[in-house]
Structure 1
Amino acid sequence: MSVTRRHVLARGGALGAGIAFSGALSELFTGTAAAQHLGHTGYGPLVPDPKGLLDLPKGFRYRVLSREGDPLRSGEGRVPSHHDGMTALPGRHGRVHLVRNHENRTNAKVPVPVVKGLTYDPAAKGGCTALTLDSGSHVRSERVALAGTAVNCAGGPTTWRTWLTCEENEERAGTGGYTKDHGFVFEVDPADPHRTGAVPLTAMGRFQHEAVAIDPRTGVVYETEDAFLKPFGLFYRFLPEKPLGGTGSLRAGGRLQAMRVPGVPDLSSIQETGACFDGVEWVDVPDPLATETPVRLQDYGPKGITRAQKLEGCYWGGRSVYFVSSYARSADGSAADHFGQVWRYDPAARRLTLVIVFGPNSDVRLPGESPDNICLAPSGGLMVCEDGNGAQHVFGVTRRGEVYALARNRQNTGTPEAPEWGEFAGVTFSPDGETMYVNCYTPGTTFAVRGPWRRPPAG
């Protein structure tokens, strides 16, 4: 990361940012409201929160749903640490199921409680919790949905209203104190966690998973791999034997493949937004379980494979899958430097397009150097969770590509002289689009934010 760039961001401009974004964004967004109001750059300046938790624009309000260390309403223990990826799924009678990851390692301050029938490896401290909310975002239940997994970072919702949670860890049994192999995807049913249990979806590969997205037409699952040191990660697709088969269908197996872009061994080498590559190829992964060699190190033939540093967010929009590279640093071995990219892959056309670039040659006031979780907003814009140093924000990006601050974390985990703020994660919207849910990673806090979401951002 560039300290100078971050200092400039913290000093000036982030709270009222109305800055042209470096990228071809129009294809990312849906919703007529945004299309009718291009040029507006936010919901106004952020108002300092007297409670010192979350700064929002005037007209927005938040409710704290859950905080690290508080008792779980189920009585199973305490709310675990490190709130990360999350989704909001529709429930019965207008209720909403929030499924929340906990990116806990073995030294976690508050581990996910061990629950019979929901625990994969008792030595692992990560997993998921599930909250059931009423139409007013009041918590009606909160319980463990999966335990005994490791470093649950992100994931993605299925079309049948479950959550795929991903382990960003590939340690083997007998290392790191673990009793089972890790690096898997697990399915979680928030309405009935015991229905899905704690069963790894082994055919989807064993590697440092980050996020997934499902093509709702074909059932193909796309997966990102977060590897920040060489060899860098790959972008995958999983072809299930039972596509769109509902809960448990992914256990039937399938074929894991890695993306190859002819002539592009490292995505960071591409710096111009709008750059397109046709004829994308998919190569079978020789050993998805990585029994001897990590998946990204396996032999993909004389043509090699395409890699990228820090592949993170992944989501489906329209007829394409979008995925994020949080940053690339030549000092780490990347072909070139950037502060974040968003790529679009169109399966029907077999075309890959670079649609957003975050610096380093763009305006220093743009959002931080590490875009992470991303989702679409009801107004037609994009919400980006910032994961860097210094002040941490949820930024909005309009359809035109203008950036504005939507929220700022005010929970100082450092000192007055050397303040620190935890990243945002898990941004998602309720099925009716009226509420944004987002996590503060540390101290683990889950917020529900209500406001004029259907109104396009205005200056």
Structure 2
Amino acid sequence: MERRSFLRASVLGGTAAAFTGSLWQGAALAAPAQNAPSPYGPLQPADANGIHLPAGFTSQVVARSRQTVPGTSYRWHSAPDGGACFADGTGWIYVSNSETISLLGGGASMIRFDAAGRVTGASRLLSGTNINCAGGKTPWNTWLSCEETDLGRVWETYPFGGRAVARPAMGRFTHEAAAADPVRRAIYLTEDKGDGCFYRFVPHTWGDLSSGTLQVMVAGTAASGSFTWATVPDPDGFPIATRNQVSGAKRFDGGEGCYYADDTVWFTTKGDNRVWQVNLASGTYELAYDDDLVSPGTAPLKGVDNVTGSTAGDLYVAEDGGSMQICMITPDDKVSVFLRIDGQGSSEITGPAFNPAGNRLYFSSQRGTSGDRLGTGGITYCVTGPFRT
């Protein structure tokens, strides 16, 4: 079976976090991606929402910060950030973080959709937390909402019912994103610091994040090579930060989005505009994208941030700033622009996530046209069209 067919079957069957085998690994991004025309063709003129899309794709506004989600009585949160989709019967749920302080509504919310993509409900998942930036979906259908503060926590939230719970065993540091690996039964974690690290949390019991071991990647200073994991002695991160507890811990310049599929985890670093690929089966790491190594012409992807994958095996990387684009990196090491938003240069694109069928892409512009740093002008969108399968 081709990797694309396998990936599509896996997503349609449940969760992208449940991939096993070597199909992604066998066709992994073996070198930094290079410029190429988009497989969807050139971008068209901006639509009514100010979004440039390839032919055949359309956009719609799903929700606006501080306004009631259409069809519900729920007021959408400010500063929408990391997100994920969950299958819900014949429909689905889109979960989104709020990257603001607790007094202004930080935490996470959800919107429920029916099989036709119509909104059927919206509600709060998490309140009273601070700067909930990105996070990750688990194979048991919970959402890990990560606080991007010096002693930030991971909060496990329950889109299908249940009270959110802090998971301090996963470490207290400037959390960004998380990605679950059901093969090694580990959760990978990025750290948004200029000298941050890349971690994994190995729970004592898979599916129970209340206890376990926090480890950090140990490797050389090169952009590729082999690595090992070392246990962090004090996950509490005080008085010594977790990133400074293990000699030889590899440093990354501002860890951001994180995505796992079949023995490979990708994560982004905004300080150097890189996408890293960690080959878990072989214990090696390399660059999937580096804006300094792109040719011919100018690198299209700047301000790398949240990342997700499609049913075709393409990576979709959102920009924080840059040209307000979502770019795609294909399995054959090609990078191109998928969409661009006009008139929102003081914002960032956040929370890209595909619905279970892989034909709708949800994402947000955190500050929208207003550019308000509090995120009061945030806009959450959905793009529908002939995504590759």
- The higher radius of gyration belongs to 1
> Which residue is equivalent to 1:11?
none
Structure 2 gap segments, 5+ residues each:
1-24, 31-35, 369-377
User: Is residue 198 from structure 1 mapped to residue 195 from structure 2 by the alignment?
Assistant: no
User: Is residue 147 from structure 1 mapped to residue 127 from structure 2 by the alignment?
Assistant: yes
1:147 positional shift: 0.8
User: Is residue 445 from structure 1 mapped to residue 376 from structure 2 by the alignment?
Assistant: no
> Which residue is equivalent to 1:250?
209
Structure 1 gap segments, 5+ residues each:
1-23, 30-38, 113-125, 171-181, 329-339, 414-419
The letter of the residue matching 1:398 is T
Contact 1:66–1:446, Cα closer than 8 Å, also in 2:
yes
> Which residue is equivalent to 1:184?
153
> Which residue is equivalent to 2:77?
80
Distance (whole Å) between structure 1 residues aligned to residue 138 and residue 62 of structure 2: 24
User: Is residue 371 from structure 1 mapped to residue 304 from structure 2 by the alignment?
Assistant: yes
SS in 2 for 1:250: strand
Of 259, 282, 286 in structure 2, the residue corresponding to residue 315 of structure 1 is: 259
> Which residue is equivalent to 2:19?
none
1:383 positional shift: 1.1
Aligned residue pair count: 351
> Which residue is equivalent to 1:33?
none
1:40 positional shift: 5.8
Q: What aligned pairs does 1:20-99 form with structure 2 within 5 A after superposition?
A: 26-28=27-29, 41-72=38-69, 75=73, 78-92=75-89, 94-99=90-95
Distance (whole Å) between structure 2 residues aligned to residue 291 and residue 404 of structure 1: 42
SS in 2 for 1:47: coil
Contact 1:215–1:316, Cα closer than 8 Å, also in 2:
yes
Q: Which deviations, in whole Å up to 9, do the C-alpha atoms of 1:49-92 show, x marking residues without a partner? A: 3524322122111221111121256645x322111110001012
1:96 positional shift: 0.4
Contact 1:42–1:405, Cα closer than 8 Å, also in 2:
no
Q: What aligned pairs does 1:2-401 form with structure 2 within 5 A after superposition?
A: 26-28=27-29, 41-72=38-69, 75=73, 78-92=75-89, 94-105=90-101, 111-112=104-105, 126-170=106-150, 182-192=151-161, 195=162, 197-228=163-194, 232-243=195-206, 245=207, 249-251=208-210, 253-261=211-219, 264=220, 266=221, 269-270=222-223, 275=224, 277-278=225-226, 280-298=227-245, 300-301=246-247, 304-328=248-272, 340-359=273-292, 362-363=295-296, 365-389=298-322, 391-401=323-333
The letter of the residue matching 1:380 is G
SS in 1 for 2:68: coil
Distance (whole Å) between structure 2 residues aligned to residue 142 and residue 53 of structure 1: 25
Q: Which deviations, in whole Å up to 9, do the C-alpha atoms of 1:324-363 show, x marking residues without a partner? A: 22233xxxxxxxxxxx222222333222233322216755
Distance (whole Å) between structure 1 residues aligned to residue 284 and residue 362 of structure 2: 32
Contact 2:99–2:131, Cα closer than 8 Å, also in 1:
yes
> Which residue is equivalent to 2:15?
none
SS in 1 for 2:256: strand
Contact 1:409–1:422, Cα closer than 8 Å, also in 2:
no
> TM-score under structure 1 normalisation?
0.71
Provide closer, same or farther for how the CA distance between residues 397 and 322 of structure 1 changes in structure 2, counting only shifts above 3 A.
closer
Distance (whole Å) between structure 2 residues aligned to residue 367 and residue 50 of structure 1: 21
Contact 2:202–2:212, Cα closer than 8 Å, also in 1:
yes
1:258 positional shift: 0.9
Percent of residue pairs identical: 33
1:290 positional shift: 1.6
> TM-score under structure 2 normalisation?
0.83
